[in-house]
Amino acid sequence: MPAAATIGHNSALTDGERQSLYLHHLRLIQGQRARVDAERKAEKVLRKDARNDGIVLKEIDFGMLCRSTEDETILPNEQIRRNEIMRWLGLPVGTQAEFNFKKDTMKDRARREGAAAGWGALARTPPYDAGTTEEQEWIKAYDGAQTQARDDLAAAMRKKNAERLAAARRSKSNGDAEGDDEGDEGDEDKDAA
């Protein structure tokens, strides 16, 4: 005789209960998938914008990997290994056989980390004890990087917007020259092309 079904064991459910449970989970998972799909579409738009601004998407992916890596020795070790493989395959690796991953002083590390956090617009929360030299160096580097990042982004956006405006004007002037005939024939020719 089979063992008695316990709560949580689906075979003890009636057909209607199994159907209801199935449809409940289907609805939840389908809703989540729709949200994920919408987020993926939004990410595609952001990636397209970055690519249009001349950013290499693999570099974005690498930057995201760098930000999410818990062990800071993994990436330098991976880079050293890639450099070694490039050398084995006869690819140029420059005059430096290894990257310089020397240990920073605590002040240097605090400055580097503060600048990285500032450039990345991360939270202004130094990982150092309050009042220490390292905390002060981190904050100083963070603030300097924030100022520089803001100024550089504003300049870059002005340049990109000027490029887009110039391209739109060129496109409009090219369109005006072609559209002077005031006939639909020109538009049909464009559609056929």
Q: What is the pLDDT of residues 104-161, one digit of tens each?
A: 688 888 998 898 888 888 899 999 999 999 999 999 999 999 999 899 888 888 888 8
The per-residue b/e assignment along 106-145, b for 16 or more CB within 10 angstroms, e otherwise, is eeeebbebbbebbbeeeeeebebeeeeebbbbbbebbeeb
Cα separation, 40 vs 31, whole angstroms: 14
pTM of the predicted structure, to 2 decimals: 0.51
> Can you give the pLDDT at residue 91?
73
Q: For residue range 65-95, what is the model confidence (pLDDT) as tens digits?
A: 888 888 878 888 888 888 888 877 777 666 5
> Can you give the pLDDT at residue 191?
43
pLDDT at 190 over 50: no
First vs last C-alpha separation in the chain? 76
Share of the chain above pLDDT 90, in %: 34
> Can you give the pLDDT at residue 4?
54
> Can you give the pLDDT at residue 57?
95
User: Among 149, 95, 86, 140, which Cα is nearest to 121's?
Assistant: 149
Q: What is the largest CA-CA distance in the chain?
A: 89
Domain locations along the chain: 104-179
Q: What is the mean pLDDT of the chain?
A: 81
Contact yes or no for 144/118 (Cβ under 8 A)? yes
pLDDT at 38 over 60: yes
